Structure 1
Amino acid sequence: MDVNKVIRVIDLVPGSVCELPRIEACKLTPDVFWNEYVRKHRPVIIKGGVSDWPAVTKWSESGYLENIPSSERTRLSRTFNPVPPQVIRHAMHDCGIPEGLREMRSAPDDATYSMPSIPVPKEWRKDLGDYPFLPSGRAKWPRNYPRQRLFIYRNASTEWHYHTMDETLTTQLSGAKRISLIKLDASNWSSYRTIIESNLHHVSCASRFFPTNAQPKKYEGIIEQGDVAYIPPFWWHGVDPNDSMLGATLAFCFRSPIERVGKWRDPATMTMLSTGLRNMPRNVIRASTIAYSSVVRMAKGISWDE
């Protein structure tokens, strides 16, 4: 068995491919980003969104991050990033972050490695900056996800998944990625979700499981160093590396505007609330927030589908 075989996930899920919208950061004002993208849940690639961050020029240099003293430890995986990540706990081993980086950089070009979802080491934070297109004061602390998560990888795809409630800025600091996003609706949510969460899209006859009459659009694009992809909640997405270098991606999350938290008849909302009695306290809070979101939309005359 070739343990270093690189797995790609995007093309395992069918759909009609079109280009993911992109805009140059210098042309994107905070008001336009908030009103035309966040409030309408429209994904976009922001070219050069963080090109002036020191991390964009320094983190891809061999030895730079490894030589920053750090006592923090992590878990290193030799697989792509599945969902949920807990399924590969047995395939990980503990190591210091500098040691893990050295192992990743010295590996063959076809080796797969991943440090999934780690906090940004405090010694690295000086190389990060602000998002010039993000309105001051509107990017409130997220409801469900950490404010920042860092993904260090080499040849590691991230399995198809979606986020609930919070908005995400996928920030590419080293390497390049190919990303694909799908917005499912009532006609295909159940079928696609069942197939993906059952991992049937990885089997050799996967195409036979997907419906042929309700295939969605797949919005795809390349995120290069210094680019930012805005990923709204409830948009399914898969990510493949676009090169074999050591990559670093920062996920920055912020709270969704109250009028965009959820819609009762949306299948994604109903799925989020149908997680059983063990999550009942959290679901009561979620349901109350969604109810308030609906009231706000009615009061403002805002359509969920606008």
Structure 2
Amino acid sequence: MIVDIVFGFLGAGKTTFITRILNDWAVKEKTVVLVNEFGEVGLDGELLAMQGGNVVEMPSGCICCTLQADFKTQLMDIIDTIQPERTIIEPTGVATISQIRSIIELQVFEGAIEEINDILIVDATGFMDLYKANRHFVESQIEYANIVILNKYDRVDKRKAMLTRNSISAINPGITVLTAAFGAVDWAEYQLALSTVFRSTPSIDVERGHDHDLAHQDRSSSPANGRKLRFSENQDALGYESFGYVFENLSFDPESLDSFFHMLKQEAAGMGEIVRAKGIFQIGDKGVLMEIASGELSTQPAGQVRDSKISVIGKSLDRDKISAALKQCTTEKS
């Protein structure tokens, strides 16, 4: 089995990239996607499943620290029961890649895993700001990558694009850098990169591996109007916290929802410093995916939606304000 670890910071475009790859690759190889998200309410697994992907979801938490034992067991189960030719692992956007590699390289997997590819997805529009704010985190990701997919490359000017590429190459001179727009990489270039990339086993930095402990706190409440609310808060070394909502038997007003997401983008609205927000919503008889990544809001069809759900990640989040604003967006299903 080949293992592709597709990692990158929150909102870089990991799920979009994997969706593109599945469209090309899954028809040729038996492929499984193992998804691990930051926070209790997960959306990426559902989005990938909507595209016909064979998806296995990990529970809330991070497979590089608190879920190491679960991750090992889940991977062994995939090998034994599904027996895929390729497993794509999508860890959380704050995962420490060295710890994930240390689990995959355990002796128990010797003979079952023939190749490991470390594929880093980088947001070209926000890389330099992220690098300045979290230098150690960014450098550790790039040091462990075999291939960098410079996503959203079409949305930056030549000067910024060159600065980003040079910064990546300075950290890891031998790395292969490919460009992509909305997760769409040149398929022939990607296949060639995978077949020719130099692979080595990095030494595990024990101190680095332990700088990503998560302090987990779970809270829940039961709002009125028959709404089901699930709340979780996770905080990692980068200082981010996460919570999510699941809505049953409720639809959403599109204009109110659009206003809500625009408020999330503005720190002056008092909801906190939002770095990532993603939601699947029932609007009438249609499903809509709305998300904030790199400070920009995007909306696209999401197929059939059973329950609406949202995940918000950031710092100093005001949950009461966010919850109250969400309530103003809901309507009873007809």
Which TM-score band (shorter chain)?
under 0.3
Larger relative strand fraction = 2
Larger relative helix fraction = 2
Q: TM-score, normalised by structure 2?
A: 0.24
Which one has more relative contact order, counting CA pairs under 8 Å at least 6 apart? Answer: 1
